[in-house]
Chains A and B, each alone.
Chain A
Amino acid sequence: MEVGLANQNAAPASGGGTKLFYIVLGAIALGGLASIAYTLGASGSTATEPVDLSGLDDPRELYELAVAVKTGPDDAPVKVVEFADYQCGGCRTFALGVVPALDEYIERGEVQFVYYDFPLVSIHAHAFLAARAGRCAEEQGRFWDYHKALFRNQATWARKQDAAPDFVDLAAAEGLDVSSFAACLRSDAHADVVSANRALAEQIGIRSTPTVIVNNRRLVAPSARALEDVVQAELDAAAGG
């Protein structure tokens, strides 16, 4: 009896049912494709807002301790400031896929790129150590090579229980003086600077990485195109002003 009932209910779908099925599939496909196209095209928020630097208890002191790493001339008309975390996937994308778009601006002296560490220690166990490792490489004048190497190998060291040996191996692979690098890494060297970097980021209300500030415009995880548009607009404004 019940088998018979099931048979009746399970009869092949009527023409109307089949049509509805195709409409639903089409709607899902369209919605899915549109969402993915939007996500790829958006490539980060292009919303901009001014950075409010007022209201710090002692901004000068904090700013002096929160030393950044810079490339490009100090008198460049446009400063691109990044706050980043070596263990963040978005920062990896930004460092390896977006920052190279600034190379020619930096070479022409139009842009100075300023890097601040903002290790999100509550979610990324190795971010603080990675930031210190970058500063240890800077002692040897090799910050930017090591910076890129950290991001290139993020997937490997981020998964380790103890990332320090990986950081030392990377230093060796990049041709750094391994013994002094290891000594630096295994001390508290630069912990104060990295902590001050973090505090500065928090003081100015940065919540996620990579946050990029172009002169006084703030962008979160911008695409290369979005960043170039803002840089060019700032250059035009500087030339016009």
Chain B
Amino acid sequence: MRRPPVRLRMAVAALSLVGLFVSVYLLLNDLGLTGLAACSPGGGCDIVQSSPYSSFLGVPVALLGVLGYLVLFAVAFLGSQPRGVGADWVGPSIVALATVAFVFSAYLTALEAWVIRAWCPYCVVSAVLATLIFALSLAELPPLRGGSPDESDAHG
């Protein structure tokens, strides 16, 4: 039996927590509650967040980020605790959530690059976090048959 990569789950939990705060900031900005809402010709977040792409199926993208990171944090945190470490559902859940987050972030980053043509630094930070979390989550996958060393576990 293969044991779960506990330290990597801890790293996923920590990165998700950072992502959670970044998303909360973006959500507050979207709601007009932050003081940094001044607009200037160089300001990226205002352009990105006032674009039609700042909501997805009627839900603000920032809110999706808050919920996504919150769930990822909860699952990774539980999966790093003695009681949750052996639960079968933790690994697949982390992989599934991290994959969705990564694909969605890639879609949003592509929109920023080619459609909106403006960069919101906080959105970019979130995309980097989602990519890192996705890379770490690959350690949850069973090793390939005849397998190469599980590199992401090397520090685990």
With contacts A28-B18, A158-B50 taken as known, whether A36 is within 8 angstroms of B28 at the C-beta atoms is yes
**SS of B interface (majority):** loop
User: Which of chain B's residues 124-156 have a Cβ closer than 8 Å to chain A?
Assistant: 143, 147-150, 153-156
Q: Which of A32, A88, A90, A159 contacts B20 (CB 8 A)?
A: A32
Distance to closest chain B CB from A106 (angstroms): 23
Distance to closest chain A CB from B70 (angstroms): 13
Complex CA–CA separation, A9 to B154 (angstroms): 7
In the complex, chain B residues whose CB is within 8 Å of the CB of A42: 35-36
Contacting pair A159 B52 (CB below 8 A): yes
In the complex, chain A residues whose CB is within 8 Å of the CB of B147: 2-3
Count of A-B contacts with CB under 8 A? 149
Q: Which of A3, A5, A28 contacts B17 (CB 8 A)?
A: A28
Distance to closest chain A CB from B75 (angstroms): 14
Distance to closest chain B CB from A188 (angstroms): 24
Q: Which of A11, A25, A90, A159 contacts B13 (CB 8 A)?
A: A25
Could you say which of A21, A35, A43, A207 has the most chain B C-beta atoms within 10 Å of its C-beta? A21
A77 at interface (Cβ–Cβ under 8 A)? no
B80 at interface (Cβ–Cβ under 8 A)? yes
Contacting pair B3 A7 (CB below 8 A): yes
Q: Which of A21, A29, A97, A208 contacts B32 (CB 8 A)?
A: A97
With contacts A2-B149, A10-B2, A89-B46 taken as known, whether A208 is within 8 angstroms of B10 at the C-beta atoms is no
In the complex, chain A residues whose CB is within 8 Å of the CB of B33: 40, 93
Task: Identify 10 new A-B residue pairs, CB closer than 8 A, beyond the known A6-B143, A44-B38, A209-B40.
Answer: A3-B143, A10-B156, A21-B14, A40-B28, A40-B33, A85-B39, A88-B46, A93-B32, A122-B41, A223-B35
Q: Which 4 A-B pairs have the closest CB atoms?
A: A32-B21, A208-B40, A90-B37, A88-B39
Which B residues are within 8 Å of any A CB, using their own CB? 2-7, 10, 13-14, 17-18, 20-21, 24-25, 28-29, 32-41, 43, 46-47, 49-52, 77, 80, 82, 85, 118, 143, 147-150, 153-156
6 contacts between A and B (CB under 8 A): A21-B10, A28-B18, A36-B24, A44-B35, A208-B39, A211-B38
